[in-house]
Amino acid sequence: MKENQKNQDSTLTFADNLPQESEEISPLALYHTQYPVHVTLQQPPGVMEGYHWHGHMEINIPFGDVEYIFNGKNIPIKAGHIALFWASVPHRLVDCQACSAMAVLDIPVHLFLSWSLPNKLINQITHGMILQSNQADLVGRFEIERWQKELQLADSNRQQLVYNEIQLMIKRMSFDGWQALASGAEYNKQENNNSRHQLNYVSLMLNHIATHYSQALTAADIASAVGLNPNYAMGLFKKTMQLTIKQYIIMMRINHAKALLSDTDKSMLDISLSSGFNALSRFYDNFQKQVGTSPQNYRKFCRSNQHWHTQGFSPIKGKIKGASDGLQLLL
């Protein structure tokens, strides 16, 4: 994060005791209502040394086939198709040799949730799925370059126009259909027609979790912090996010643990504590339940992946990995 941005923004939601290494920063800490929309046309894109994660919904539009690893799984994305995912899920671009350029759009979570989108799409995204449009070429370089240029203007009307056009692009994707490229658990869907007032409460809850992510968190504490009845707060959160507060916290902590298992040689105890589990047994139980295997087996699985070593990069030795603001690592 740029120094002048730090000075101008004294309301950052990151906890005061953030660790110094970016890979130690939990995905839970990265919710931030003041993130801008980023649009970048990478010409060409480059492979990543290790996993990284940030607090946005991310859209990729590659002009040429690419391949990612998401939480240990190889995910190819076809040329010209839209890929949409929650960037809090650790991800790593491992093959882009056939790609001359790739658009990367970072959408703040609170903005994404305020858009009128299908509940199924929101449900799949918030449960860690990677979605790809059925149709290619829904937008081209012209639109992307225009968005990138107009977001740099000090013109709020132009910026709002870009937001609207990106929202319409995702709506078009939903009309034409999409496929889930990585499996994830789907829970009972609830209609999401929240008012701005209700969305603001959910944003406050996510902000409280981000600020206190390293502490023991209960739904009652989170509800109290934003001035809501616990039952109402839990229902509102689930209706908006399509998962419960507890599911959200555990999912993010498991995501963090997966990245540390893959990209570091930290011990199981260190990973348990770094990812927010205050007991090793609790870490093992939750990991087995969520992932279906033990942390040790998951580490072996990741390192047996043919793309784990990519073009000379070893995630353990790599320095460019961990939490970011979407553009730069958080250090």
- Confidence at 194, pLDDT banded by 50, 70, 90: low
Task: Please report whether residue 140 resides in a domain.
Answer: yes
CA pair distance 321, 304, nearest whole angstrom: 20
pTM: 0.87
Task: Please report whether residue 307 resides in a domain.
Answer: no
Q: Does position 8 have pLDDT exceeding 70, yes or no?
A: no
Q: Does position 15 have pLDDT exceeding 60, yes or no?
A: no
At residue 285, the pLDDT reads: 97
Task: Please report whether residue 29 resides in a domain.
Answer: yes
Tell me the chain's radius of gyration from C-alpha atoms.
19
CB 88 within 8 A of CB 30: yes
Task: Please report whether residue 54 resides in a domain.
Answer: yes
Which residue has 């929240």 as its token pair? 194
Looking at residue 15, what DSSP letter applies?
Answer: -
Q: Choose between 330 and 140: higher pLDDT.
A: 140
CA pair distance 89, 255, nearest whole angstrom: 6
Helix, strand, or coil (residue 41): strand
The arithmetic mean of pLDDT across residues 101-106, rounded, is 97
Task: Please report whether residue 215 resides in a domain.
Answer: no
Parallel, antiparallel, or unpaired: how do β-strands 52-53 and 81-86 relate? unpaired
Q: Which has the minimum average pLDDT: 10-14, 38-42, 187-191?
A: 10-14
Task: Please report whether residue 256 resides in a domain.
Answer: no
Q: Does position 7 have pLDDT exceeding 80, yes or no?
A: no
Task: Please report whether residue 226 resides in a domain.
Answer: no
Q: How many Cα neighbours within 13 Å face the side chain of 74?
A: 13
Task: Please report whether residue 236 resides in a domain.
Answer: no
- Confidence at 104, pLDDT banded by 50, 70, 90: very high
Q: Which domain holds residue 150?
A: 10-180
Which residue has 């507890």 as its token pair? 246
How many domains does one find in the chain? Answer: 1
CB 8 within 8 A of CB 54: no
Q: What CATH number has the domain bearing residue 130? A: 2.60.120.10
Q: How remote is the C-alpha of 151 from its chain's centroid?
A: 21
Q: 11 to each of 5, 7, 14, 15, how far by Cα in Å?
A: 11, 10, 9, 11
At residue 66, the pLDDT reads: 97
- Confidence at 75, pLDDT banded by 50, 70, 90: very high
CB 286 within 8 A of CB 254: yes
At residue 189, the pLDDT reads: 54
CB 20 within 8 A of CB 331: yes
Q: Choose between 319 and 61: higher pLDDT.
A: 61
